[in-house]
Amino acid sequence: MNKTAASITGWTEEEARGTSLETVFKIVNEETRQAVENPALRALKEGRIVGLANHTSLISKTGKDYPIDDSAAPIRNQDGEIIGAVLVFRDITERKQAEDALLASSKESTDLKAALDEHAIVAVTDAQGKITAVNDKFCAISKYSREELLGQDHRIINSGYHPEAFFRDLWSTLARGRPWQGEIKNKAKDGSYYWVGTTIVPFLNAGGKPLQYVDIQADITERKQMEVELFEVGRRKDEFLATLAHELRNPLAPIRTALQVLKLDESKDPRTTRAREIMERQVVHLVRLINDLLDIARISQGKLILEKSRITVKEVIDAALETSRPVIEAENHTLTIRTPDYPIYLDADLTRMAQIVSNLLINAAKYTPKYGTIDLSVELINKEATISIADNGAGLTADMLSKVFAIFTQVNQDLKRTQGGLGIGLALAKNFIELHGGIIQAKSEGLGKGSTFTLKLPALEESPEISAINNASQIAALSGPNRKILIVDDNIEAAEMLSVFLQSSGHQTMMVYNGNDALQAVARFEPDYILLDIGLPDISGYEVARKLSKDLGVRTPVLVALTGWDSPEDKKKAAEAGFNFHLTKPVDVEEIEAIMNHANSEDRTLISHGIPKGSVGLL
């Protein structure tokens, strides 16, 4: 919401955030005072640009009436899917006054002309579309003289931007004797382009046929340029976040692996053990922050894809506790878990559902004083899985409850600023649960009285099918043969740390630092697995994978992409290049062990069926 929107609606951006569109943008028919359908909702539903009908007023927060016109257009991602809508409106009080003047008595024609010349761009055409009159502002914006315009077809300023269907709708409306409103891109005499918001009014004869058309316009070129610039800013922001995440993940990779190596050679000094545990938790926290930032960018672009499968609520809780339990234990909280003695099945993305529950548990831990209590309960109510997380912590004010799920909102900053974070965890939880067809609710009796967050989403009917392998920890616990592993990464320290860990697990390793050396090493070393970075200094990991797949066919080693890039497009590229798995840096070595234990390089069927998608990036 920009300053003009705030001025007209009477709502500040902070007040409007989290409030329904119908409340902030309250529009009625100026004559009947009946509510008018919001054009943004129509744009989302119909997938096209939608404008307001005539005689529409906006009722501001203060109760003041503003005659407006507006348009709403769907926002689409690069795949053409609708991910939102943009609503642009303006106060047309002056233009409305000009239009009213135009329709007044012919006795006032002199005053009418003066009013129009002062406030609007005006052109008049005959029934065939020939220009019969223009005012000075029309000449100024089109850069044609009055003499050059009079008698010309109205299409003299046609930019060629709009499709034929656009003009068919325009002329169909006018032919029925109804005014038409919309936005048109025109071309000036010097070849420059400009945008106008326009109202075309047909004047009819006694038989109801148009005699002439009066076109009243307002210059909206600057506003349209701002829309383009805002879109470009958003695109660049998303690209920056993706690049930033990649660059942050690269140094985190050797740090995480080094900590896991240290864990194998556990020191007897409790201070050393404590220091390592603290570093491990902080690395996990950094990774979670990076992933949350990327998820927000993906949601804004409509690129977030759910990988749904039949899972149980227990699997969700177990996965969420792996991430959140260290935070809960660090605060010395008492965690109580209450679940039914029967499984509740969901059609859901295990990773995203676990992320939702983990975010809620971590929030409860952060905003509850030490030695507090956290209660996690699961119920099946009216075919809905209900997960509630209650704490006896800081609580929320009524004002905070109304905006707690808004992005970048900091909960109770004044109470525990050091526990802040980015303010995106709850926003992500809301987006994720809604993508699953569910809802999230927050309740609190006030400050100091704790909070309860409740998730509700459709449950599936009970299934007798039982998964042979339920989670990543079970996979890692299974024994498997030692392997020959080629590590390809231009980050030498990351490659060394990963090699040390894999050797300590009994595997034989070789390290190379570019793509061409990798191709040569395959012939000499004959690895079972190749852990292959994508961004290499000579040729990309994709090229290496494609060449190996082409040259070796079914004898190609198991290819594991080990990279800081993890968008759906990146994973698709990896699969198309021939990779079997896709792991995102900084990788947990247990994920690599899981692949080693189950993906036999001579039996690729295990790659397709042996490892659940929730544990590693199966391609």
Helices (H), 26-108: 39-46, 93-102
pLDDT at 525: 92
pLDDT single digits (tens) 91-111 = 888 777 766 666 654 445 555
In this structure, is residue 462 part of a structural domain? Answer: yes
Q: What percent of the chain has pLDDT over 90?
A: 33
**Residue bearing the bigger pLDDT, 448 or 304:** 448
What CATH number is given to the structural domain containing 482?
Answer: 3.40.50.2300
Average pLDDT over residues 140-153: 93
Q: Which residue's entry shows tokens 């927000």?
A: 296
In this structure, is residue 80 part of a structural domain? Answer: yes
* 103 and 86, same domain (yes or no): no
What CATH number is given to the structural domain containing 310?
Answer: 3.30.565.10
Q: Which of 188, 301, 291 is nearest to 249 (CA)?
A: 291
In the chain, the number of structural domains is 4
pLDDT at 53: 62
**Residue bearing the bigger pLDDT, 264 or 422:** 264
- Please say which residue of 43, 67, 91 terminates a domain: 91
pLDDT single digits (tens) 514-560 = 999 999 999 899 999 999 999 899 999 999 999 999 988 878 899 99
* 78 and 121, same domain (yes or no): no
pLDDT(364) > 70:
yes
pLDDT at 346: 94
> Do residues 138 and 121 make contact, with C-beta atoms less than 8 angstroms apart?
yes
> Do residues 200 and 179 make contact, with C-beta atoms less than 8 angstroms apart?
yes
Tokens representing 472 are 């990543």
* 501 and 601, same domain (yes or no): yes
Supply the pTM of this predicted model. Answer: 0.45
pLDDT(618) > 60:
no
pLDDT single digits (tens) 19-28 = 888 888 898 8
Helix (H) or strand (E) holding 375: strand 373-381
| Most confident option among 411-415, 508-512, 566-570 | 508-512
pLDDT at 115: 57
Residue 133 phi/psi, 5° resolution?
-160, 145
pLDDT single digits (tens) 170-191 = 988 998 889 999 999 999 999 9
pLDDT(248) > 70:
yes
Going by pLDDT thresholds of 50, 70 and 90, the confidence category of residue 408 is low
pLDDT at 232: 82
Q: What percent of the chain has pLDDT over 70?
A: 84
Strand partners, 481: none
In this structure, is residue 337 part of a structural domain? Answer: yes
DSSP annotation of 125: E
* 363 and 412, same domain (yes or no): yes
- CA-CA distance, 285 to 257, in Å (whole number)? 15
pLDDT single digits (tens) 222-240 = 989 888 888 787 778 777 7
* 60 and 148, same domain (yes or no): no
- CA-CA distance, 483 to 502, in Å (whole number)? 9
pLDDT single digits (tens) 254-306 = 887 888 777 776 666 777 777 777 787 777 767 777 777 777 767 766 667 78
Q: Say how many CA atoms lie within 13 Å of 615 toward its Cβ.
A: 23
Going by pLDDT thresholds of 50, 70 and 90, the confidence category of residue 469 is very low
- CA-CA distance, 495 to 489, in Å (whole number)? 6
* 526 and 459, same domain (yes or no): no
In this structure, is residue 156 part of a structural domain? Answer: yes
pLDDT at 213: 92
Exposure string of 530-543, with b = 16+ CB inside 10 Å and e = fewer, is: bbbbbebeeebbbb
pLDDT at 104: 57
* 493 and 591, same domain (yes or no): yes
**Chain-centre distance for alpha carbon 200:** 38
Mean residue pLDDT across the chain: 81
- Please say which residue of 446, 466, 486 terminates a domain: 466
Q: Which of 42, 52, 31, 38 is nearest to 199 (CA)?
A: 52
pLDDT at 14: 87
Residue 445 phi/psi, 5° resolution?
-85, -5
pLDDT at 328: 93
Tokens representing 158 are 């046609």
In this structure, is residue 262 part of a structural domain? Answer: no
| Most confident option among 251-265, 431-445, 599-613 | 431-445
pLDDT at 608: 31
Going by pLDDT thresholds of 50, 70 and 90, the confidence category of residue 604 is very low
- CA-CA distance, 72 to 36, in Å (whole number)? 14
Starting at the edge strand found earlier in the chain, the sheet holding 452-458 runs 334-338, 373-381, 384-391, 452-458, 439-443
pLDDT at 113: 59
* 66 and 131, same domain (yes or no): no
Strand partners, 559: 530
In this structure, is residue 377 part of a structural domain? Answer: yes
In this structure, is residue 259 part of a structural domain? Answer: no
DSSP annotation of 158: B
pLDDT at 191: 94
Exposure string of 53-89, with b = 16+ CB inside 10 Å and e = fewer, is: ebebbbbbbeeeebbbbbbbbbbeeeeeeebebebbb
> Do residues 154 and 129 make contact, with C-beta atoms less than 8 angstroms apart?
yes
pLDDT(138) > 90:
yes
Domain of 480, in residue numbers: 476-609
In this structure, is residue 242 part of a structural domain? Answer: no
* 144 and 211, same domain (yes or no): yes
* 333 and 425, same domain (yes or no): yes
Average pLDDT over residues 336-346: 91
* 321 and 215, same domain (yes or no): no
Average pLDDT over residues 350-376: 92
- Please say which residue of 420, 436, 466 terminates a domain: 466
What CATH number is given to the structural domain containing 140?
Answer: 3.30.450.20
Q: Would you say how long the chain is, in residues?
A: 619
Average pLDDT over residues 483-500: 88
pLDDT at 559: 93
Going by pLDDT thresholds of 50, 70 and 90, the confidence category of residue 156 is very high
Residue 205 phi/psi, 5° resolution?
-85, -175
103: exposed, middle or buried (C-beta count within 10 Å: 0-12, 13-18, 19+)? exposed
**Residue bearing the bigger pLDDT, 473 or 42:** 42
> Do residues 317 and 357 make contact, with C-beta atoms less than 8 angstroms apart?
yes
DSSP annotation of 207: T
**Residue bearing the bigger pLDDT, 89 or 616:** 89
> Do residues 37 and 19 make contact, with C-beta atoms less than 8 angstroms apart?
no
* 388 and 422, same domain (yes or no): yes
